[in-house]
């Protein structure tokens, strides 16, 4: 169940990995590399529902390498 703060739904690495049928290390790597835009809160990665929807729809800029 997503964390909700001030009306914002925040998804954890575990939740994103489950929804995308991926591994937790892969999702953490996506956060670090900017593939998915997230924020560390108390040492754990989270993504807002809005950013997750943008990622899923493809409306997300790819990171520059």
Over residues 9-54, the pLDDT tens digits come to: 999 999 999 999 999 999 999 999 888 999 999 999 999 999 999 9
Distance separating alpha carbons of residues 21 and 40, to the nearest angstrom? 22
Distance separating alpha carbons of residues 39 and 51, to the nearest angstrom? 11
Query: Which residue range(s) make up the domain with 19?
Result: 3-57
Distance separating alpha carbons of residues 14 and 27, to the nearest angstrom? 9
* Contact indicator for 40, 50 with CB cutoff of 8 Å: no
Residue 63 is assigned to a structural domain of this protein = no
Residue 39 is assigned to a structural domain of this protein = yes
**pLDDT interval class at 2 (50, 70, 90):** confident
Residue 62 is assigned to a structural domain of this protein = no
- Residue 48's CATH number: 1.10.1660
Q: Can you give the pTM of this predicted structure?
A: 0.83
């Amino acid at each position: 169940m997503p964390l909700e703060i001030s009306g914002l739904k925040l998804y954890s690495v575990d939740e994103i990995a489950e929804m995308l049928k991926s591994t937790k290390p892969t999702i953490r790597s996506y956060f670090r590399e900017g593939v998915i835009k997230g924020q560390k809160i108390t040492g754990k990665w989270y993504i807002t529902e809005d950013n997750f929807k943008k990622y899923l729809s493809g409306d997300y800029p790819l990171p520059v390498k």
